[in-house]
């Protein structure tokens, strides 16, 4: 009604909210309003994990071993789990953003996990259907940006490494991935192009994969929208992805070929969340009396924060996307550390201290990433030690400053015993 009343020609759904709601996209189509994204049918197919998986298998895009169809009974789920072997992942067909997922290692955990995933799915969308998939240990989460126009032109716009996560939700993304070489990039990129064609996708989307420890890539899903982390792709490709979305939605062909695209430099994104790392990443909400946003060459910060704003409990905990670029990975990493140090948010707990610990770790610097990175390398424990060390260093610095201050004023006091009285005569 709002769009009709305002004479809207087109709508960009952003991310979250209605961005992957095929009913909304279909309503736009029905009312001759351009939805800047895929068609409603394509979005519906991408959102149905089982149908999407079937389309990928038909297109010869490798998928994670698991149930051949939807699982609607816990006994069937247990049978499949024992056939493919534990650990397995229970995944709601209607889940997203890391929700509706449980990793289980035995029959008892499976039954409890099945119940909780079902409840989460019903609470979120009013229905439930579950997939059972083999859980691949020490995997990396690598996704590919792609674009396809109504003329059939299809390109991938390189990969993004999104392995550092908590509760299956991304925290830090980077591109290029330290584990993807030029040959792999093109090989998997061809799978991505095939995936986009398989679901008749138009506009921009993201194909997500798990990379197993043996180097094999397995398709997970297609995100039928612009991703939160798209700025890092813009940095290394030189493209304005939102403009590209608008042009494709306007019926224009993609203005470049796959061979025209070249990666330039390295980019990292940290999702600045309002949450308490030490309370299992519980949301932290309330007023923000003061804030300092980092700026500088190769630094970009997309945020709603301003002095006096409020972090609401009713929305996602993401407050800002902090992105840095450099000619080398090390330049991008050190810029990010400097930007994190400059980022000041008063009033709520944030994920900034955790990111400083992660980016300073040898494992991160060496590219030894995995979806269980936080647990595998005890990052929370390391953060505790880093904060304790930082507190001690500040105390020592304050003490040193106090001593210097005291000595300085002592040196200004003269030991003068001369009689400076203005009285001519003094009586004893």
Mapped to the 3 state alphabet, what secondary structure does 44-59 carry?
HHHHCHHHHHHHHHHC
Q: Supply the DSSP symbol for 250.
A: T
* Residues whose CB is less than 8 angstroms from the CB of residue 5 and which lie 6 or more positions away in sequence, other chains included: none
First and final CA of the chain: distance in angstroms?
100
What domains lie within the chain, and their CATH numbers?
A: 1-62+138-255 (3.30.470.20), 65-135 (3.30.1490.20), 265-382 (3.30.470.20)
Query: Reduced to 3 states, what is the DSSP secondary structure of residue 216?
Result: coil
* Residue of 344, 336, 364, 314 lying closest to 268 (CA atoms): 336
How many CA within 13 A on the CB side of residue 196? 28
The verdict on whether omega for the bond into residue 176 sits within 30 degrees of 0, i.e. cis, is yes
Single out the residue of 163, 160, 168, 202 nearest to residue 185, CA to CA.
Answer: 160
Q: For the segment 84-107, what is each residue's pLDDT rounded down to a tens digit?
A: 999 999 998 876 666 789 999 999
At 314, list the tokens.
Answer: 């009713």
pLDDT score for 339: 99
Give pLDDT, residue 416. 53
Token pair 């997922």: residue: 101
Only one residue has tokens 């993401």, namely: 318
> Phi/psi at 366 (nearest 5 deg)?
-90, 0
Residues 267 and 249: their CA atoms lie apart, in Å, by 27
Over the stretch 393-422, which tens digit does the pLDDT of each residue have? 777 677 677 777 777 666 665 555 555 555
Q: 346 with 294: CB under 8 angstroms?
A: no
pLDDT tens per residue across span 63-89: 998 998 889 899 999 999 999 999 999
Catalytic residue among 211, 225, 300, 335: 225
Coil, strand or helix at 367: coil
Rounded-to-10 torsion of CA 183, 187, 189, 190: 140
Question: pLDDT digits over 323-369, tens only?
Answer: 999 999 999 999 999 999 999 999 999 999 999 999 999 999 999 99
Say if strands 10-11 and 34-35 run parallel, antiparallel, or are unpaired. parallel
* pLDDT score of 128: 82
The tokens describing 288, both together, are 């923000």
Give the chain's length: 428
Please check whether residue 262 is in contact with residue 204, taking contact to mean a CB–CB distance below 8 angstroms.
no
Q: How far is CA 375 from the centre of its chain?
A: 18
Helices and strands (H, E) in the chain, number of each type: 14, 19
Nearest to 228 by CA among 239, 241, 215: 241
Interatomic CA distance for residues 425 and 428, integer angstroms: 10
> Could you tell me which of 297, 401, 306 has the C-alpha nearest to residue 346?
306
Packing angle of the helix pair 241-249, 230-237 (nearest 10 deg): 100
* 150, burial (CB in 10 Å: exposed 0-12, middle 13-18, buried 19+): middle
Distance, CA of 246 to CA of 48 (rounded, Å): 26
**Chain-centre distance of CA 106, in angstroms?**
30
Averaged pLDDT, groups of 10, the chain, 428 residues long: 89 91 96 97 93 94 90 94 95 74 96 94 83 92 99 99 95 98 98 98 98 94 96 99 98 98 99 97 97 98 98 95 99 99 98 98 98 96 93 72 71 56 51
**b/e code 158-183 from CB counts within 10 Å (16+ = b):** bbbbbbbbbebbbbbbbbbbbbbeee
ω into 87 cis (within 30 of 0): yes
Tell me what pLDDT residue 68 has.
81
Q: What is the pLDDT of residue 394?
A: 72
pTM of the model: 0.84
Contact assessment for residue 302 and residue 258, using Cβ atoms and an 8 Å cutoff: no
Taking each helix axis from N to C end, the angle separating 49-58 and 40-47, rounded to the nearest 10 degrees, works out to: 100
Question: Is residue 166 annotated as part of the catalytic site, yes or no?
Answer: no
- pLDDT at position 123: 85
- In 181-336, beta strands by DSSP E: 203-211, 217-223, 266-273, 275-276, 282-283, 286-288, 291-292, 299-303, 309-311, 318-326
């Amino acid at each position: 009604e709002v769009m009709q009343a305002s004479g809207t020609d087109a709508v960009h759904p952003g991310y979250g909210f209605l961005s992957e709601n095929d009913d909304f996209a279909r309503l736009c189509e029905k009312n001759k309003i351009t939805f800047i994204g895929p068609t409603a049918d394509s979005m519906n197919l991408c959102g149905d994990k089982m149908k999407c998986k079937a389309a990928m298998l038909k297109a010869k895009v490798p998928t994670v071993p698991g149930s051949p169809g939807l699982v609607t009974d816990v006994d069937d789920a247990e049978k499949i789990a024992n056939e493919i072997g534990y650990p397995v992942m229970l995944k709601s067909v209607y889940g997203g953003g890391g929700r509706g997922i449980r990793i289980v290692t035995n029959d008892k955990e499976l039954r409890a996990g099945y119940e909780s995933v079902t409840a989460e799915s019903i609470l979120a969308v009013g229905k439930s259907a579950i997939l059972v998939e083999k859980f691949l240990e020490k995997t990396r989460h690598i996704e590919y940006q792609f674009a396809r126009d109504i003329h059939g032109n299809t390109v991938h716009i390189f990969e993004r490494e999104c392995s550092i996560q908590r509760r299956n939700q991304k925290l830090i993304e980077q591109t290029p991935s330290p584990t993807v070489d030029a040959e792999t990039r093109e090989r998997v990129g061809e799978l991505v192009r095939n995936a986009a064609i398989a679901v008749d996708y138009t506009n921009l989307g993201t194909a997500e994969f798990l990379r197993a420890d043996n180097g094999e890539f397995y398709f997970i899903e297609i995100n039928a929208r612009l991703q939160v982390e798209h700025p890092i792709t813009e940095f290394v490709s030189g493209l304005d992805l939102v403009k590209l979305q608008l042009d494709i939605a306007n019926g224009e062909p993609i203005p470049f070929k796959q061979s025209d695209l070249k990666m330039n430099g390295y980019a990292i994104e940290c999702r600045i969340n309002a949450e308490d790392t030490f309370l299992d990443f519980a949301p932290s909400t309330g007023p923000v009396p003061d804030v300092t946003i980092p700026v500088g060459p190769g630094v970009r910060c997309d945020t709603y924060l301003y002095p006096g704003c409020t972090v609401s409990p009713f929305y996602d905990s993401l407050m800002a996307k902090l992105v840095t670029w450099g000619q080398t990975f090390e330049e991008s990493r050190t810029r990010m550390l400097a930007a994190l140090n400059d980022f000041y948010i008063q009033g709520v707990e944030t994920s900034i201290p955790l990111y400083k610990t992660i980016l300073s770790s040898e494992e991160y610097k060496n590219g030894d990433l995995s979806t269980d990175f936080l647990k595998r390398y005890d990052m929370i424990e390391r953060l505790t030690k880093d904060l304790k060390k930082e507190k001690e260093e500040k105390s020592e610095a304050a003490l040193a400053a106090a001593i210097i201050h005291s000595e300085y004023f002592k040196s200004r006091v003269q030991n003068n015993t001369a009689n400076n009285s203005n009285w001519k005569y003094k009586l004893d």
